[in-house]
Amino acid sequence: MKEDLKIKEPIKIRVKHLTNGSKSIYLDIYMEGRRKYEFLKLYIIPENSKSDRVRNNETLKLANTIKAQRIIELQNQSHGFKFNKTSNIKLIDYIQAIAGKKSEGKVRRTTLHAVIYHLKRYDPNNIQLSRINKEYILGFLNYLKIAKQAHSKKEKSLHANTQVYYYKMLRYCINYAVTEELLPANPMNKIQNEEKPHRNHTEREYLTMDELKKLAQTPFYNELVRKAFLFSCFCGLRHSDIIALTWRDIETDENGNSWLHIIQKKTKEAISLPLSKEAVKHLPKREEAKENDKIFKKLITLGRTNEILPRWAEQAGIKKHITFHTARHTHATMLLTLGVDLYTVSKLLGHTNIQTTQIYAKLVDESKKKAIDLIPNIT
């Protein structure tokens, strides 16, 4: 009678329960009478939605891939062979695991999922992490030049600035793999500057005071987008900061002045801004909201916001093409037009480099020049 052989695995996947409700995945490795643990920096999050379950499944897939790889490594070591521990880890799987980390912000996670979307179309076979080279990256960059926006009904091509952002996100992920010693070096370091995607420095669109008044007086079907845009026009906050804003972030001093204190999502820099009465006027009503509640709760994504804003501008009789960032440009040029010095404007916008603010100063100078040119000859 044959007996089934029970093979005892030298490595088991285990989880450590964390205080925030998540579970940290680690490997329990037992070999030659010695035990050690390897924490994978992968986490199972509470499953509150379908997307949470999908994310957890992807995380577990990667954990099992790493486990299988470690078993092969142990077997090869026992026979005197060296083995590359990244050979079975796939690029897209690895990026999905990074996107699943709770430490990644919502904006970055969204971008990582967009990168995954395009990688799947560029490389349906899902290359192994260890096989990525300069040629593979250059091929992906060439793909981005002709790629269409994800989930876009109008089949729009990717903006040059979007291509730059996706390039940076991919570089971020591969650098992460280098940090985790999954790769010896980042092959993207071999890409020359002229081969990289570059930003398209188009003229910054902004609204004049008359145009801003027209817009403020024009109703719009999405009242939350309307309030958020006008609020940004009078305080200069980015969409990513507005969508994260809570009532705790705004306080009133002893003189009745409103102040906003946040850490910017983009720069990670802390800023404190005085809010004008006009800015406060465009905040949604607080009603029964708690300190940690979002002020602009249920505000739609930046991409969807930018799709519908031109309709509002058209209704107001404004012929400029506006995006949400137009509000920030409007705030900057408004301050400079009113005579606020460049350094102060730079601080109010939360710029880390005053050269960025100088771009707005040039716009104001050009506007002044156009105004002077309108003076008629009287002699």
- Domain extent at residue 58: 11-195
> What is the domain count for the chain?
2
Is position 322 within any domain? yes
Is position 62 within any domain? yes
Is position 202 within any domain? no
Is position 235 within any domain? yes
Cα within 13 Å of Cα(242), Cβ side: 31
Give the global pTM: 0.51
If asked whether residues 259 and 152 sit together in one domain, one would say no
- Whole-angstrom Cα distance, residue 87 to residue 89? 6
Which of 84-88, 154-158, 185-189, 304-308 has the highest mean predicted lDDT (pLDDT)? 185-189
Average pLDDT over residues 259-265: 87
Sheet holding 23-31, edge to edge: 11-17, 23-31, 34-44
For the cut 50, the answer to whether the pLDDT of residue 83 exceeds it is no
Check if the beta carbon of residue 119 is closer than 8 Å to that of residue 96. Answer: no
Q: What percent of the chain has pLDDT over 90?
A: 30
Nearest to 172 by CA among 188, 193, 150: 188
The first and second tokens of residue 152, run together, are 């876009």
For the cut 60, the answer to whether the pLDDT of residue 216 exceeds it is yes
Q: Report the SS3 class of residue 310.
A: helix
If asked whether residues 79 and 189 sit together in one domain, one would say yes
- Whole-angstrom Cα distance, residue 185 to residue 178? 6
Interval 108-167: pLDDT, tens: 777 888 899 999 988 888 888 988 999 999 999 988 988 877 765 556 778 887 888 899
Nearest to 208 by CA among 288, 322, 286: 322
If asked whether residues 258 and 127 sit together in one domain, one would say no
Q: Report the SS3 class of residue 183.
A: coil
Is position 201 within any domain? no
Nearest to 120 by CA among 90, 99, 162: 90
- Whole-angstrom Cα distance, residue 176 to residue 179? 5
Is position 170 within any domain? yes
Nearest to 203 by CA among 346, 310, 326, 347: 326
If asked whether residues 213 and 344 sit together in one domain, one would say yes
For residue 80, the model assigns a pLDDT of 46
For residue 183, the model assigns a pLDDT of 86
Check residue 39 and report its DSSP letter: E
Is position 84 within any domain? yes
The overall average pLDDT reported for the chain is 82
If asked whether residues 57 and 137 sit together in one domain, one would say yes
Check if the beta carbon of residue 155 is closer than 8 Å to that of residue 123. Answer: no
If asked whether residues 258 and 190 sit together in one domain, one would say no
Q: Report the SS3 class of residue 263.
A: strand
If asked whether residues 128 and 168 sit together in one domain, one would say yes
For the cut 90, the answer to whether the pLDDT of residue 214 exceeds it is yes
